[in-house]
Amino acid sequence: MQVNHTLQTAEVDLLYQTHHAWLRGWLWARVGCRENAADLAQDTFVRLLRARQSGPLKQPRAYLSSIARGLMIDQLRRRALERAYADSLAHLPEGEVPSEEARRVILDTLERLDRALHQLKPRARQAFLLAQLDGLSIAQIAAHLQASRATVERDLARALGICYRLRYADA
């Protein structure tokens, strides 16, 4: 096992030397900030190391840009969550505002939940949000989504399964 890891590390090292500057420039053109581009490029190679890719890549730039694109989307989602959370905090009475530490924990939980729910098909995600945030019944969700009760029940079961796994992954 150690030989494979060493081999993979050497391959990633070569990819880094060969494509890091290109990837940083590619990211800079998309995010408009050198520091953010540099961070995303580093995160791309960290993700590549964790991926345990077997064998050399046939199209390394396409693969690297695909990873980087996913990281940019994750970053945009996190920023949107942070803004929405900050907006909701702004409406709380002063005594009910959570501490900075509690805010970080809540934001991290929201981010993990968002990532988990994005594993679902859009209809299942929407059904879950309608049930949890709007308090709609299964019949109301079925009517709203123009789906059968059985489909909504199945979608909600999948979403709750993801939430359950998310909850107990940390325990």
**Cα(140)–Cα(143) distance, integer angstroms:** 5
- Cβ count within 10 A of residue 31: 17
pTM for this structure? 0.65
Q: Which long-range contacts (CB under 8 A, 24 or more apart) does 112-118 make?
A: 112/166, 113/163, 113/166, 114/77, 114/81, 115/74, 115/77, 116/162, 116/163, 116/165, 116/166, 117/159, 117/162
**Cα(14)–Cα(154) distance, integer angstroms:** 46
Q: What is the pLDDT of residues 127-136, one digit of tens each?
A: 999 999 889 9
Q: What is the pLDDT of residues 72-108, one digit of tens each?
A: 988 888 888 888 888 888 888 888 888 889 988 888 8
